[in-house]
Structure 1
Amino acid sequence: MKVDLTTAIFKKSQRSGDNGCVEVATNLASVVAVRDSKETAGPVLVFTKAEWSAFVGGVRDGEFDL
Protein backbone atom coordinates (compact mmCIF):
# COMPACT_ATOMS: atom_id res chain seq x y z
CA MET A 1 0.00 0.00 0.00
CA LYS A 2 1.52 3.30 -1.07
CA VAL A 3 0.68 6.12 1.34
CA ASP A 4 1.56 9.83 1.27
CA LEU A 5 3.28 10.52 4.60
CA THR A 6 4.16 14.17 3.96
CA THR A 7 1.47 15.35 6.40
CA ALA A 8 2.19 12.69 9.03
CA ILE A 9 2.79 14.05 12.51
CA PHE A 10 4.77 11.41 14.39
CA LYS A 11 4.58 11.39 18.17
CA LYS A 12 6.75 9.44 20.58
CA SER A 13 5.30 7.79 23.67
CA GLN A 14 5.73 9.64 26.95
CA ARG A 15 7.04 6.34 28.33
CA SER A 16 9.82 6.24 25.76
CA GLY A 17 13.31 6.35 27.20
CA ASP A 18 16.51 7.93 25.91
CA ASN A 19 17.30 4.77 23.94
CA GLY A 20 14.43 5.43 21.58
CA CYS A 21 11.16 3.80 20.90
CA VAL A 22 8.53 3.90 18.22
CA GLU A 23 6.71 6.95 16.93
CA VAL A 24 3.11 6.83 15.75
CA ALA A 25 1.25 9.13 13.37
CA THR A 26 -2.52 8.94 13.84
CA ASN A 27 -3.40 12.18 12.05
CA LEU A 28 -3.63 10.60 8.60
CA ALA A 29 -7.04 10.11 6.99
CA SER A 30 -7.28 6.35 6.65
CA VAL A 31 -4.09 4.83 8.10
CA VAL A 32 -1.80 4.86 11.11
CA ALA A 33 1.96 5.04 10.47
CA VAL A 34 4.64 3.67 12.82
CA ARG A 35 8.40 4.21 12.66
CA ASP A 36 11.55 3.79 14.74
CA SER A 37 12.32 7.02 16.61
CA LYS A 38 16.06 6.41 16.26
CA GLU A 39 15.83 6.03 12.47
CA THR A 40 13.19 8.53 11.38
CA ALA A 41 14.29 8.35 7.74
CA GLY A 42 13.98 4.56 7.78
CA PRO A 43 11.05 2.34 6.88
CA VAL A 44 7.51 3.06 8.07
CA LEU A 45 4.89 0.45 8.88
CA VAL A 46 1.37 1.37 7.80
CA PHE A 47 -1.82 -0.05 9.30
CA THR A 48 -5.48 0.59 8.60
CA LYS A 49 -7.33 2.35 11.42
CA ALA A 50 -9.17 -0.93 12.15
CA GLU A 51 -5.90 -2.90 12.37
CA TRP A 52 -4.38 -0.32 14.70
CA SER A 53 -7.48 -0.26 16.89
CA ALA A 54 -7.41 -4.06 17.17
CA PHE A 55 -3.71 -3.98 18.12
CA VAL A 56 -4.17 -1.29 20.77
CA GLY A 57 -7.16 -3.19 22.17
CA GLY A 58 -5.05 -6.35 22.39
CA VAL A 59 -2.31 -4.47 24.24
CA ARG A 60 -4.83 -3.04 26.71
CA ASP A 61 -6.37 -6.47 27.25
CA GLY A 62 -2.96 -8.08 27.94
CA GLU A 63 -3.11 -10.26 24.84
CA PHE A 64 0.62 -9.81 24.21
CA ASP A 65 1.89 -10.10 27.79
CA LEU A 66 4.68 -12.60 28.16
Structure 2
Amino acid sequence: MAESTTEQLAGDARPQLDLAGAAWQSSGQGRRSNVQIAFVDGFVAMRDRRDPGVPAVIFSPGEWRAFVLSARDGEFDLT
Protein backbone atom coordinates (compact mmCIF):
# COMPACT_ATOMS: atom_id res chain seq x y z
CA MET A 1 0.00 0.00 0.00
CA ALA A 2 1.30 3.48 -0.84
CA GLU A 3 2.33 5.86 1.89
CA SER A 4 0.29 8.97 2.50
CA THR A 5 0.79 12.18 4.37
CA THR A 6 -1.86 14.59 5.54
CA GLU A 7 -1.66 18.27 4.78
CA GLN A 8 -4.24 21.00 5.16
CA LEU A 9 -5.07 22.69 1.85
CA ALA A 10 -7.20 25.82 2.24
CA GLY A 11 -9.35 24.23 4.93
CA ASP A 12 -9.52 20.87 3.14
CA ALA A 13 -8.54 17.93 5.34
CA ARG A 14 -8.03 15.73 2.26
CA PRO A 15 -4.76 13.79 2.47
CA GLN A 16 -2.01 14.17 -0.09
CA LEU A 17 -1.65 10.57 -1.25
CA ASP A 18 1.51 9.08 -2.67
CA LEU A 19 0.20 7.74 -5.99
CA ALA A 20 3.59 6.73 -7.40
CA GLY A 21 2.95 3.03 -6.80
CA ALA A 22 -0.82 3.09 -7.30
CA ALA A 23 -2.41 0.29 -9.33
CA TRP A 24 -4.47 2.28 -11.83
CA GLN A 25 -7.54 0.58 -13.31
CA SER A 26 -9.28 1.70 -16.48
CA SER A 27 -12.98 2.44 -16.30
CA GLY A 28 -13.71 0.34 -19.37
CA GLN A 29 -12.15 -1.47 -22.27
CA GLY A 30 -10.42 -0.18 -25.35
CA ARG A 31 -9.14 3.22 -26.41
CA ARG A 32 -12.36 5.01 -25.46
CA SER A 33 -11.64 4.50 -21.77
CA ASN A 34 -9.81 7.62 -20.59
CA VAL A 35 -10.71 7.56 -16.90
CA GLN A 36 -8.60 5.55 -14.47
CA ILE A 37 -9.10 4.96 -10.75
CA ALA A 38 -6.88 3.65 -7.97
CA PHE A 39 -7.73 2.66 -4.41
CA VAL A 40 -5.08 4.06 -2.05
CA ASP A 41 -5.13 4.19 1.75
CA GLY A 42 -8.94 4.06 1.95
CA PHE A 43 -9.49 6.74 -0.69
CA VAL A 44 -10.28 6.63 -4.40
CA ALA A 45 -8.08 8.56 -6.83
CA MET A 46 -9.32 9.34 -10.33
CA ARG A 47 -7.23 10.60 -13.24
CA ASP A 48 -7.24 11.08 -17.01
CA ARG A 49 -5.32 8.25 -18.67
CA ARG A 50 -4.30 10.57 -21.51
CA ASP A 51 -2.63 13.04 -19.13
CA PRO A 52 -1.47 11.20 -15.99
CA GLY A 53 0.75 14.13 -14.98
CA VAL A 54 -2.28 16.24 -14.06
CA PRO A 55 -3.13 15.80 -10.36
CA ALA A 56 -5.72 13.13 -9.61
CA VAL A 57 -9.06 13.94 -8.02
CA ILE A 58 -9.25 12.32 -4.57
CA PHE A 59 -12.57 11.01 -3.18
CA SER A 60 -13.41 9.78 0.30
CA PRO A 61 -15.45 6.54 0.27
CA GLY A 62 -18.69 8.50 0.83
CA GLU A 63 -17.88 11.01 -1.91
CA TRP A 64 -17.03 8.17 -4.32
CA ARG A 65 -20.34 6.43 -3.58
CA ALA A 66 -22.27 9.67 -4.18
CA PHE A 67 -20.35 10.28 -7.42
CA VAL A 68 -21.00 6.76 -8.75
CA LEU A 69 -24.69 6.86 -7.84
CA SER A 70 -25.09 10.28 -9.49
CA ALA A 71 -23.35 9.02 -12.64
CA ARG A 72 -25.63 5.97 -12.74
CA ASP A 73 -28.63 8.30 -12.44
CA GLY A 74 -27.41 10.26 -15.49
CA GLU A 75 -26.60 13.45 -13.60
CA PHE A 76 -23.46 14.00 -15.67
CA ASP A 77 -24.85 12.97 -19.06
CA LEU A 78 -24.34 15.44 -21.88
CA THR A 79 -27.44 16.32 -23.83
Task: Compute the TM-score of the two structures, normalised by the length of structure 2.
Answer: 0.64
Percent sequence identity is 36
Larger radius of gyration: 2
Residue among 44, 50, 63 paired with 2:75 = 63
Aligned counterparts of 1:51 and 1:35: Cα–Cα separation in 2: 16
Aligned residues: 64
4+ runs deviating over 4 angstroms: none
Distance 1:54 1:16, change over 3 A: farther
Distance 1:16 1:50, change over 3 A: farther
- After superposition, the CA RMSD in angstroms is 2.0
Q: Could you say which structure has the greater relative contact order, defined with CA pairs below 8 angstroms and 6 or more residues apart? A: 1
Listed as ranges, the gaps of 5+ residues in structure 2 are 1-14
